[in-house]
Structure 1
């Protein structure tokens, strides 16, 4: 490790004379007789320091970052610093042709300060909305990074229908995919319900169970409609017509799933790319509440220790499922450095992919989050060609 410094008045990144010449992101460190007041301990290897990691966030998130209300993001940055890297946090508009304008965390001050750096070795996308990813500043930033060959980890959010189409391209994944399709009208839902008896209707862009319905057919065309808010009986599916017209929805056949003490459960699997493939970082379990349509904790689900169901899971099959899925996602969407997958377990221990998320939420399990931080800075180092 060596110590480098940042001069706020000139925007220079410097190292002490005699310590050598080092590349820093797309730029280089300037030799100086002495270091300024803002200093950072960084890893030095092969004539480079860092890695310098860009973290792309929404412009609206910056005030919360500066006020110390982005705790998870701060934990990622602290972990990166501990491993000898530096993060520059910016909105898309801060990505320039040759430099980034944003904020760096200064350990000695325990706060963020405004700074600029050369273009980074790798950029981690944590922009919070699909709409923002589609706007001009983000698209311009992504194009600039691509022009310089800078990896952009997790280019965009996933749509459920796009994920399904991507995974369907690999026949080895077919046994793990539940029949799924976009829907345009209530008649589409009616046809699926007639075929399967029980289906889920989901917002194509939804997350954390938002817009989720479970429909179960009853005699004489009646339907039980369950949502995170409760259960109701529909005399006709036509009552759902305004909802189906409101945004993009998909329909998915329900699986006959395993239960734990009479409650449905599913796996939350966190995965990261490492040395050319995706491997499992951690496995969480979410248990549905009584008469609950979803296992999401946000909607009343609970966290179950993985040890309670571990003997029911074919971990070798799960590892292979994650590796195959990650490969297909990266082929379809570009570099997918991390993802989480909601995996159902069937009565006969089959594994079903419910959803895959490009920007995993924070896991309730502290051990999984600790391992996630390690895997993230390993990912950044590998992408920056600084892997041990």
Structure 2
């Protein structure tokens, strides 16, 4: 470990090891100075390079919450990086320039975020919250700029459910573990799926956290259809009643899986995954259980946490690890390098694993052990991508 310092007035980073030369960030020589620093950090040093310097990209609209210390996940990653001898600078993509960036570092001695100017980071981590921001020309120019410099950057974008399904179903090992899915163009697509499966989930193609999801179930004689949304149950006499919905937003329709239950309630696995030395490894498995008769296991919608130990014996973990690995490889081929993702995975009553959804930007896990192990794996990945050897 060595110490690097920052002068707020001059907006400069420097070191105080006389006679040494260091590189900090992307090809940036670090100056020597004996002046008094505004603050300093302990960092790793390997072959004259210090850091790594990690750029965590967030939405401009998230900055006020960050400064009020309400971005719990970002602060966890930042402080974990500092403990490991790295530095994170948190910034909107609009603050990335040709030779430098402007953002915020967390100074633990002050207990606050401090604005800094810094060299281009060794690696960028995308935590932008909005799909619309990722589709802007400015964001796409930043991706091209980082690509041209060969600065690692992940994950590049949110997934849409349909594009993800199209990508994964090309893989022979994954195909049997995907619920049958169609992109909804009109009500005939839903009618077709209902005739085959009897019950289906309809989900916004760009939705998250179970928002906008509903379930349709045909009556035994197909004379009417039960419509179920969170806190809503009603009977439809015709699917045509849903036509205005599909003209305003893109949806997918997905086969309902006859799910395994624990004490009468169905449950899903929430699996956190990270890339590590050429492979994808599981960093933690949580379990979310749906309340009685509810559609979704999301905690925000009433789902409950269940210890994985309660259902572990029902899961073929070797198969689960293999499926996760195949998902990571297929997604990286299609979407660009995937450094981390989470997976919502169900178990049917006959023991078959089904991959319901994969998420490019995992939500914070409620289980502290998964949270902290995930942060450790993420930091190891930053080191790997920045060319720092694991100690």
Q: 1:101 aligned to 2:78? A: no
Return the offset for 1:230: 2.4
Write the distance in 2 (CA, Å) between the matches of 1:371 and 1:17.
34
The residue matched to 1:340 in structure 2 has which SS? strand
| Contact kept? 2:179, 2:256, Cα under 8 Å | yes
Residue aligning to 1:121: 122
What does residue 291 of structure 2 align with? 289
Q: 1:300-311, aligned counterparts within 5 Å? A: 300-311=302-313
> What pairs with 1:21-100 in structure 2 (closer than 5 Å)?
21-26=21-26, 27-100=28-101
Aligned to 2:209: 208
- What's the CA shift string for 1:113-136, capped at 9, x where partnerless? 111111111000000010011113
Secondary structure of the residue that 1:290 maps to in structure 2?
coil
Q: Hey, what does 1:357 align to over in structure 2? A: 359
Structure 2 distance, partners of 1:365, 1:17, is: 42
2: CA distance, partners of 1:19 / 1:111: 33
Q: 1:332 aligns with which of 311, 331, 334?
A: 334
User: How far 1:184 moved relative to its partner?
Assistant: 0.9
Q: CA deviation at 1:98?
A: 1.1
CA distance in 1, matches of 2:111, 2:142: 29
CA offsets 1:302-329 (integer angstroms, 9 cap, x no match):
1111011000001111001100101101
Q: Secondary structure at the match of 2:212?
A: coil
1:21: Cα distance to partner? Answer: 1.0
User: 1:19, 1:382 → 2: CA distance?
Assistant: 28
SS across alignment from 1:157: coil
Task: Supply the distance in 1 between the matched residues of 2:172 and 2:190 (Cα, whole angstroms).
Answer: 26
Per mean C-alpha deviation after superposition, the further-off stretch among 155-164 and 36-45 is 36-45
CA–CA distance in structure 2, aligned partners of residues 387 and 193 of structure 1: 53
RMSD (CA atoms): 1.1
* Maintained 8 Å contact 1:16/1:32: yes
In 1, are the aligned partners of 2:202 and 2:251 still within 8 Å (CA)? Answer: yes
Corresponding residue number in structure 2 for 1:317: 319
Distance in structure 1 (CA, Å) of the matches to 2:72 and 2:355: 30
Q: Judge conservation of contact 1:185–1:244 (CA < 8 Å) in 2.
A: yes
User: Contact 2:134 / 2:157 at 8 angstroms: preserved in 1?
Assistant: yes
The equivalent residue for 1:195 is 196
* TM superposition shift of 1:181: 1.4
Alpha-carbon distance in structure 1 between the residues aligned to 2:291 and 2:341: 25
Deviation at 1:35, TM superposition (A): 4.4
Deviations 1:223-278, CA, capped at 9 Å, x for gaps = 01111222211111111111122201001111122111111111000000000111
**Structure 1 residues 148, 10: closer, same or farther in 2, change over 3 A?**
same
* Aligned residue number for residue 155 of structure 2: 154
CA distance in 2, matches of 1:133, 1:67: 25
Q: CA deviation at 1:19?
A: 5.9
Q: Which stretches of structure 1, 4 residues or more, deviate above 6 A after TM superposition?
A: none
**Any unmatched runs of 5+ in structure 1?**
none
The count of residues paired between Structure 1 and Structure 2 equals 388
CA drift of 1:12 comes to 1.9
Partners of 2:8 and 2:223 in 1: how far apart? 70
Look up the match of 2:260: 258
- Could you say what secondary structure the match of 2:341 adopts? strand
1:266–1:343: 8 Å Cα contact kept in structure 2? yes
What are structure 2's unaligned runs of at least 5 residues?
none
Equivalent-residue separation in structure 2 for 1:234 and 1:208 (angstroms): 25
For the 8 Å contact 1:201–1:251, the answer to whether it is kept is yes
Tell me the distance in 2 between the aligned counterparts of 1:197 and 1:121.
51
1:11 corresponds to 2:23: no
The answer on whether the counterparts of 1:224 and 1:234 sit within 8 Å (CA) in structure 2 is yes
- The alignment's TM-score, normalised by the length of structure 1, stands at 0.98
1:94-116 Cα shifts (integer Å, max 9, x gaps): 01111111111122222111111
Structure 1 residues 143-196: Cα deviation after superposition (integer angstroms, max 9, x where no partner):
221111111110000001111111112111111111111011112111111111
Q: Secondary structure at the match of 2:271?
A: strand
Look up the match of 2:184.
Answer: 183
